[in-house]
């Protein structure tokens, strides 16, 4: 029927109904494809650059991949490639940061989403943005000049060393709070208003609605925010480089000094390194290790989002 009615139309009308090329749409589509291709090619280039230099260290006769993940001495010049001290310090500072950032950031997100008035939200949001925009080197000096003396005053000079993982982790947690709060608030704000109104209609209090209705409904977005924040903590450089300590140290005492992976890369690369030396090549395998850690966290994030995602009509 539709084809017959179209055939009865005058030739001029049929010509007007034909598909016409939209040049601006083609240009926009090509530009967006180019942006996506650049991001993918950049990632591939990073992996290629890190992998190429890492293979030089892996092919070294004194390097053993099993010992790389199981031993606790990192002295590449002496043929000791145990990455556990650096990896342990990285995970410990990140864990301390998460203990601070996750509850505080989620609390801020719940307050902004469920409790804050427009005026209070207009004041708090710029403050969070200021925290996110402060250079990390400033946070590093803040850890040295404020957090470490504070911990020493509370616990004693004999317990807390001047360079320690605790102060670096606490300040790193403060740095990540805006990230957790912003992403979590977006997830909470995406929950339909009808769920809140239905709970209020059944007699629930505002706290019960926030904790038992809104947060479970936004769990996938909150979990993704947490994992992104962990990735941010693992890759943090300047705070741990300034406040955590210099030199690998395999310890579980947060008040002791220990060097993280990023801190070690900063310290070693700042010296006079000759190309293709053992120390030089070791930096790339550490960077590749960090890349895979963040890649695994991103994969977990996607799995969690897919598992707990709620779809509302």
**Domain ranges across the chain:** 2-59, 74-308
Q: What is the pTM of this model?
A: 0.83
- Terminal-residue alpha carbon distance, the chain: 35
* Residues 67-86 pLDDT 10s: 888 888 888 888 888 889 99
- Report the pLDDT averaged over residues 151-170: 90
Q: What is the pLDDT of residue 89?
A: 92
pLDDT band at 8 (very low <50, low <70, confident <90, very high): low
Contact criterion met (CB below 8 Å) for 20 and 264: no
Evaluate whether 209 touches 200 at the Cβ level (below 8 Å).
yes
Structure tokens at 238: 């300047």
Could you please state the CATH topology (level 3) that the domain comprising 74-308 is classified under.
Answer: MetI-like fold (1.10.3720)
Whole-number pLDDT of residue 170:
94
Percent of the chain, pLDDT > 70?
Answer: 90
Tell me what pLDDT residue 168 has.
92
Task: Flag whether pLDDT at 50 surpasses 80.
Answer: yes
Q: Which among 45, 39, 92, 98 is positioned nearest to 229, based on CA atoms? A: 98
pLDDT for res 125? 84
Residue 290: pLDDT over 70: yes
Host H or E run for residue 16: helix 11-17
**Residues 256, 166: Cα–Cα separation, whole Å:** 8
d(CA 56, CA 136): 32
Structure tokens at 159: 């317990």
Torsion from C-alpha of 275, 278, 270, 53, nearest 10 degrees: 60
Q: Rounded distance, CA 136 to CA 240, Å?
A: 10
Percent of the chain with pLDDT over 90: 22
Structural tokens at position 96: 């301390």
Tokens, residue 282: 């070791």
Looking at residue 47, what is its pLDDT? Answer: 87
| Residue 67 token pair | 């010992």
Q: Which two tokens stand for residue 305?
A: 């989002």
């Amino acid at each position: 029927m539709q084809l017959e009615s179209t055939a009865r139309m005058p030739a001029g009308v049929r010509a007007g109904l034909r598909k016409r090329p939209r040049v601006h749409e083609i240009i926009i589509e090509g530009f967006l494809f180019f942006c996506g291709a650049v991001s993918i090619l950049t990632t591939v280039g990073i992996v290629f650059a890190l992998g190429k230099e890492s293979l030089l260290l892996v092919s070294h006769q004194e390097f053993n991949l099993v010992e790389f993940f199981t031993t606790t001495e990192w002295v590449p010049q002496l043929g000791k490639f145990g990455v556990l001290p650096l990896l342990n310090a990285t995970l410990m500072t990140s864990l301390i940061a998460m203990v601070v950032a996750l509850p505080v950031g989620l609390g801020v997100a719940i307050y902004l989403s469920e409790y804050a008035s427009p005026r209070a939200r207009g004041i708090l949001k710029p403050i969070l943005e200021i925290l996110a925009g402060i250079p990390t080197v400033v946070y590093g000096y803040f850890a040295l000049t404020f957090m470490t003396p504070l911990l020493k005053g509370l616990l004693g000079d004999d317990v807390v060393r001047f360079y320690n993982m605790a102060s670096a982790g606490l300040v790193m947690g403060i740095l990540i709070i805006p990230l957790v709060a912003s992403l979590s608030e977006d997830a909470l704000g995406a929950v339909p208003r009808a769920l809140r109104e239905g709970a209020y209609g059944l007699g629930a209090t505002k706290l019960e609605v926030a904790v038992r209705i809104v947060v479970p409904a936004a769990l996938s977005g909150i979990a993704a925010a947490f994992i992104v924040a962990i990735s941010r903590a693992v890759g943090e450089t300047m705070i741990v480089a300034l406040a955590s300590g210099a030199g690998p140290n395999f310890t579980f005492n947060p008040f002791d000094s220990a060097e993280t992976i990023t801190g070690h890369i900063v310290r070693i690369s700042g010296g006079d390194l000759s190309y293709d030396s053992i120390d030089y090549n070791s930096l790339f395998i550490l960077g590749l290790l960090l890349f895979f850690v963040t890649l695994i966290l991103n994969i977990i994030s996607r799995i969690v989002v897919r598992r707990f995602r709620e779809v509302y009509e």
